[in-house]
Amino acid sequence: MLDKFFNIKQHGSTVKTEVVAGITTFFTMVYIIFVNPAILSSVGVPFDQVFMATIIAAVTGTLIMGLLAKYPVAIAPGMGLNAYFATVVASQGLSYQTVFGAIFVAGIIFILMSVSNLRQMILEAIPSTLKYAITSGIGLFIAFLGFKQSGLIVANDSTLIGIGDLTAPVTILSIVGLFITLILMVRRVPGALFIGMAVTAVIAGICGMLHYEGVMSLPPTPVFFDMDIAGVFTNGLYAVIFAFLLVTIFDTTGTLVAVTEQAGLMKDGKIPRAKKAFLGDSVATTIGSMFGTSPSTAYVESTTGVTAGGRTGLTAVVVAALFLVSMFFSPIVGMIANMAAITAPVLIIVGCFMMEGLSRINWPSFDDAFPAFVTILIMPLTSSISTGIAFGFITYPVLKLFSGKGKQVHPIIYIFAVLFLIQLVFFPAH
């Protein structure tokens, strides 16, 4: 039944592989159910409210992605967008209820764009050069996250980043976990990424690095419709809506391009069932705002599940189920999520797999090469997928125009080049 619904065999996968892929994705992104409440509670939103809202948004969006679009992509409230939420509340002296209202309005617009052809037109207008660059840029970004979480690289006043303390327990465990997983990968052991995570977790437990605080706990009661929609218009938060909308659209677009390209699901530069896929983040954003969390987006950590063999929506359904279960097992989930050494090696390895598209970029043509280069470089340097895409969208049409190839650029790219320039200058969402 599962095979028939998800076409698992047709995609060269198995139910077991899809389940393992879902578990792998879940444990690389589950940190969000603890990090998101920590960020939003800093501006007054109750921690328990955000905890439940984060899970509700993740389950909603990921189920849509798995059951309707049938892609191995997970949705959850986005990092960066939550920080922007906190910045808007703190800097403009607004209540968090009013900003939730702005997210709700953005979500409704988002849904309307998703059911129309607009988002699909944007996706299909992106030139192949930038699609390959987006995938590779996300690969560097996700590997950078892994290196940072492991402590292998740290902030440095002189050089921005530098080598970390290789004698720190978490860093040592990360290195050990990385080489265990690498050896499993080169030996072609099925489920190598998941086995590597499991072995690393066992070592952490033996070394006393996991802080056990129980197994189960009753989840908090969700809070519904804690927002002020009228305040959005009385305070004129149109720029805030614009920033949330633009960043969320291109975060998910970039991640969808990367995941489907990596999984071999993209056909002739197009993503089948794109409209259904776009409903995932837009509905999750709207529902999430009603319960009390920042906008949702497709997670780059979904690439870990694809690397583990996930090719269908069953991977996403497993992720959604685990998010649902996590509200009852928050102590044990938190214990694993707070140990970066367990997930960091997976992120580093996945980053390597995502660099394959570099060979398909037209490097001899400078008006193709530079936009690709700047897209790839900016993502890890700014820790923002949408900012990397913005730089690519701005430089690509300019270089094509002045090289006499302006007619090769889709009109939508010119429009978004202007919109991205306005957003980066006046409404930076970081």
* Domain-located, residue 389: yes
CA dihedral sign of residues 67, 335, 288, 271:
negative
Per-residue pLDDT tens digits for 383-405: 877 788 889 999 999 999 999 99
| Mean pLDDT value across residues 53-68 | 96
Q: What's the confidence (pLDDT) of residue 350?
A: 82
* Domain span including residue 352: 12-214+226-356
Residue 153 has pLDDT above 80, yes or no: yes
Same domain for 161 and 40: yes
Question: Which residues lie closer than 8 Å to 355 by C-beta, 6 or more apart?
Answer: 136, 139, 140
- Look at residue 272 in the predicted model and tell me its pLDDT: 86
pLDDT at residue 121 greater than cutoff 90: no
Domain boundary among 327, 356, 385: 356
Statement: residue 430 has pLDDT above 60: no
Same structural domain, 36 and 180? yes
User: Residues 6 or more apart from 48 whose CB is under 8 A from it?
Assistant: 37, 220
Mean pLDDT check: name the lowest of 113-117, 180-184, 324-328: 113-117
Flag the least confident range among 62-71, 268-277, 404-413.
268-277
Q: Are 78 and 203 found together in one domain?
A: yes
In a domain? residue 83 = yes
Looking at the structure, tell me whether residues 310 and 338 fall in a common domain. Answer: yes
Would you place residue 429 in the very low, low, confident or very high pLDDT band (cuts 50, 70, 90)? low
- Exposure class string for 189-200: b at 16+ Cβ within 10 A, else e: eebbbbbbbebb
d(CA 265, CA 261): 6
Please tell me whether residues 298 and 350 are part of one structural domain: yes
Q: Confirm if 40 and 291 have CB atoms less than 8 A apart.
A: no
Q: Which of 302, 329, 356 is the last residue of a domain?
A: 356
* Percent of the chain residues topping a pLDDT of 70: 99
The CA distance from 234 to 253, in Å, is 32
Instruction: Give the pLDDT band of residue 66 (cuts 50, 70, 90).
Output: very high
Instruction: Tell me the Cα Rg of the chain.
Output: 21
Final residue before a domain boundary, out of 333, 356, 379: 356
Mean pLDDT of the chain: 89
Q: Could you identify the residue written with the tokens 């978490």?
A: 170
* Residue 170 near residue 340 (C-beta atoms within 8 A): yes
Which range has the top average pLDDT, 85-99, 178-192, 280-294, 413-427? 280-294
In a domain, 197, yes or no: yes
The pTM for the full model equals 0.80
Same domain, 170 and 243: yes
